[in-house]
Structure 1
């Protein structure tokens, strides 16, 4: 069975999700999850892990351009810890410094309306971050490429 990982663009309201099959190392946007209650969120991520046969999550770690962490970094780390606890899957943290701005540029170039860009932004940011993670050499459990 193929090993699949999910990339997470963490947000307090919306979470962008991308999926990659490690055998081909290509990330694709999956969806944007609208956060609800901790219990509903836990059910969603357990179901995602099961249905997608995930072996790992990669959560984007937002850091300042200087490399220093912020309040959002702390929240992303807490979310990653929670994700491990509820799914029992390993979670890597990966620097997502430029993913949202890169996703926004790509969507603007596609001439989408502001509403359509917003609807796609988080999943595309997750895809860009997961692609960067894969390109950094994180293609197998033996070589996870973890920064966290």
Structure 2
């Protein structure tokens, strides 16, 4: 069974999945969603969960640098609870501080154009969140 990592933003959700052994994470896709409608990405996620036989979801938990949890973090917690209820799969929260900035730095160092960076940054951040979680297991 595989794990799925999510980088949940206000307009997009970056999605990554692990290999079957749970050793490596690969960016899969970016889902566009309406944060005001918590169910708006359910169909797309259901398809991924079914196709890849996902047994656990890891959601990036944005924290402030001092470790406190702000509004975005609370929204991630709510979203995790929603996914657990809908899909009956455990959803874990994983500290994602600086993940998007690290992904951006990797893409800049690889000389990826701004236009291409915008298309892949969310799924790359999701892969970094999931890889951090896998490495800690």
| TM-score, normalisation: structure 1 | 0.86
- CA pair 24-74 structure 1, distance change in 2 beyond 3 A: closer
Deviation at 1:22, TM superposition (A): 4.7
Residue 107 (structure 2) pairs with residue 104 (structure 1): no
Quote the residue 2:59 is aligned against.
Answer: 59
Secondary structure class of the residue paired with 1:117: helix
- Using the alignment, how far apart are the partners of 1:58 and 1:24 within structure 2? 12
Q: State the match for 2:16 in structure 1.
A: 18
Structure showing greater relative contact order (alpha-carbon pairs closer than 8 Å, 6 or more residues apart) = 2
- Give the length in aligned residue pairs: 135
* Unaligned ranges ≥5, structure 2: none
Instruction: Rate the CA distance shift 1:67–1:75 in 2: closer, same or farther, 3 A.
Output: same
Q: Where does structure 1 lack aligned partners over 5 or more consecutive residues?
A: 138-148
Q: 2:28 aligns with which of 10, 30, 34?
A: 30
Runs of 4+ with deviation above 4 angstroms: 36-40
TM-score in terms of structure 2 length? 0.93
Given that 1:46 and 1:86 are in contact with CA atoms closer than 8 Å, whether structure 2 keeps it comes out as no
